[in-house]
Structure 1
Amino acid sequence: MRVPFTKMHGLGNDFVVFDAREAVLPPLTRSVATALADRRTGIGCDQIVLIEASVIADWKMRIINADGSEVEACGNAARAVGLLLKAAATLETLGGVISIRPDGEANEIAVNMGTPSFDWCAIPLAYAMDTLAMPVAWDSLDRPVAVNVGNPHLVFFVADAEAVPLHELGPQIENDPLFPQRVNVNVAAVDARDAITLRVWERGAGLTRACGTGACATAVAAMRLGLVDRKTSVSLPGGVLAIEWADDDTIMMRGPAAISFTGSFDWGDYA
């Protein structure tokens, strides 16, 4: 069975996107997902994204990490889907229903990510603690903020985000027993009242060039701590996202998405 796909990215966070709204795809097993995501022998990506029919929203978006695990939310993937749809829409995700719309420039997409959660059981954590100043540490990283923006994030504010050995500490923190569903790890430096520099270790994907939900979680954490204003830019290795925490408590993310190329493959080559 020959299957078409679109290779896309949001600030370098890259996806293999399948439009399954009408066409029926074979089962996307963990082994098929990891084979497709392999950058040496597959198409290569951080995540696989499926656009499907939904009964509670305009469309459904599923996100599969490079390790084959399915996750609740992905802000960059939402912008990629918005670019493909070319119209405002609501998207059902495992993390809830979000809305997307074209925003100004041809490749700019705005995403309403919904409301953040801060309760320890909503992150979730293994036991109760203050999520605004968690009494935990991993080497030099301590007292993080925990936020759920459809998926779980841990945010550390540091003097220099580039100096943190995130390739070493990221997997340790992601898989710590404190996080029953694992966690995304963010290290951020506040540069001004409207500017943050961020690096992210993504759960199931590792270091990525950008993470939309990470930018949202980090911005909201900084706002709760009074470090930045309610509108801020978040600079990631792949580029800049604009984040606003609105008066109605929803988070609005704005940024670009792009199509890298289109193609097709024989599903049996990866099954």
Structure 2
Amino acid sequence: MNRRFHKMHGLGNDFVVVDAREDGFAFDAAGARAVADRRTGVGCDQLIVVGPATGADVSMRIWNADGSEVEACGNATRCVAALVGRDCTIDTPGGLLRATLTGEGVAVDMGAPRFGWNEIPLAYAMDTAAMPVGWGPLETPFAVNVGNPHVVFFVDDVEAVPLDELGRGIETDPLFPERINVNIAQVIDRRTIRSRTWERGVGLTRACGTGACAVAVAAIARRLADGPVTIHLPGGPLAIDWTPGGSILMTGPATHVFTGELDAELLRA
């Protein structure tokens, strides 16, 4: 049978969202790839399934466009809260998240960042605040897990970095056994940062919510910025606030584009 879905996005980071709270629905990697294909499917960066939960209002599972399942997605979390239509708790593989509807969109408590080399994880121990590694012009990244793993490189000009050429090699480097999301960041002033993200399993993206969180945490930890910080992504701005030792608060929009049906033949592709 066909399956109803919602097309949604957060600053251009787009999703196919299936609401399975009333009747369970399972995707596998092949089904996720078929739906995400922009030529023969619906097209999206991630496929999201919203389901029932124990100890939370709803659950959220996330598949990247390449069929890999991941722990967290900040932009998708805001979209799930907007779909639910009220303040809610969301159980994800990366932890329990709390979302609040605001006049600016949705605010999400993303939990506390993790900095241990084995929490990213890395293949071996090293200083995650200034990793002694580099790829071409990108050197000495900051590594952090904000529900999923990220590295952040601070650069003079984010537009001058060929992230489309460097991103995949960094993502799949053996140093990162679970692959890695790659962010480049340019500090404009202590409250403003420009950023671009290569998202694991997706590629270049117009916005990455967890990437914006990682950038803000890295900048504040390195004393390059003060919270709250506005992170300007290609798709628009996100507001990120974090105090060392506390949780990350992300605030931004969530947009519903249209509702449709997934053809049963597509799901069997």
Spell out the pairing of 1:228-239 with structure 2 (5 A cutoff): 228-239=225-236
CA contact (8 A) 2:221 2:244 kept: no
The answer to whether the 8 Å contact 2:31/2:266 transfers is no
The one-letter code of the counterpart of 2:198 is: W
Structure 1 position 81 matched with structure 2 position 54:
no
Instruction: Give the Å deviation of 1:247.
Output: 6.5
Matching residue's letter, 2:191:
D
Write the deviation string for residues 70-110 of structure 1: whole angstroms up to 9, x where unpaired: 000000000101111111111111110010010114xx000
Separation in 2, partners of 1:248, 1:139: 33
**Does residue 1:51 correspond to 2:47, yes or no?**
no
Which of the numbers 173, 180, 196 marks the counterpart of 1:176? 173
2:100 and 2:11 mapped to 1: Cα distance? 18
Counterpart of 2:58, as a letter, is W
Which letter does structure 1 place at the counterpart of 2:91? E
Residue of structure 1 aligned with 2:135, choices 126, 134, 138 = 138
Q: Which amino acid aligns with 1:240?
A: P
Instruction: Tell me by how many angstroms 1:248 deviates.
Output: 5.7
- Moved >3 Å (runs of 4+): none
What is the rounded CA distance, in whole Å, between the counterparts of 1:146 and 1:247 in structure 2?
15
Q: Measured at CA, do residues 179 and 248 of structure 1 come closer, stay the same or move farther in structure 2, by a change above 3 Å?
A: closer
In structure 2, the residue matched to 1:24 is: 24
| Kept in 2: contact 1:246–1:252 (CA 8 A) | no
Q: Which amino acid aligns with 2:8?
A: M
Q: What secondary structure is seen at the aligned counterpart in 1 of 2:30?
A: helix
1:67 and 2:66 matched:
yes
Identify the residue that residue 110 of structure 1 maps to in structure 2. Answer: 107
Q: Deviations for 1:201-255, whole angstroms, at most 9, x for unmatched residues?
A: 0010110100000000010000000000021000000000000004661000000
Are the counterparts in 2 of residues 79 and 256 from structure 1 also a CA contact under 8 Å?
Answer: yes
Distance 2:236 2:182 in 1: 18
Q: Distance in 1 between matches of 2:46 and 2:262?
A: 17
Q: Which amino acid aligns with 2:97?
A: I
Q: Which runs of 5+ in 1 are unaligned?
A: none
2:98 counterpart residue number? 99
Pick from 186, 193, 201 the counterpart of residue 204 of structure 1: 201
CA distance in 2, matches of 1:9, 1:252: 19
Query: Does residue 255 of the first structure (1) align with residue 243 of the second (2)?
Result: no
- Structure 1 window deviating more from structure 2 (240-249 vs 147-156): it is 240-249
Structure 2 unpaired stretches of 5+: none
* CA-atom RMSD in angstroms: 1.0
The reply on whether 1:6 has 2:3 as its aligned counterpart is: no
Q: Partner of 2:223 in structure 1?
A: 226
Q: How many Å separate the matches in 1 of 2:45 and 2:134?
A: 28
Q: For the Cα contact (< 8 Å) 1:194–1:233, is it kept in 2? A: yes
CA distance in 2, matches of 1:269, 1:32: 8
Identity %: 58
3-state SS, counterpart of residue 154 of structure 1: strand
TM-score (norm 1): 0.97
The alpha-carbon deviation at position 137 of structure 1 amounts to: 0.4
What is the CA-CA distance between 1:22 and the residue it aligns to?
0.7
Q: State which drifts further: 139-148 or 49-58.
A: 49-58
2:213 is matched with which residue: 216, 219, 238?
216
Q: How many residues align?
A: 268
In structure 2, distance between residues paired with 1:168 and 1:5: 33
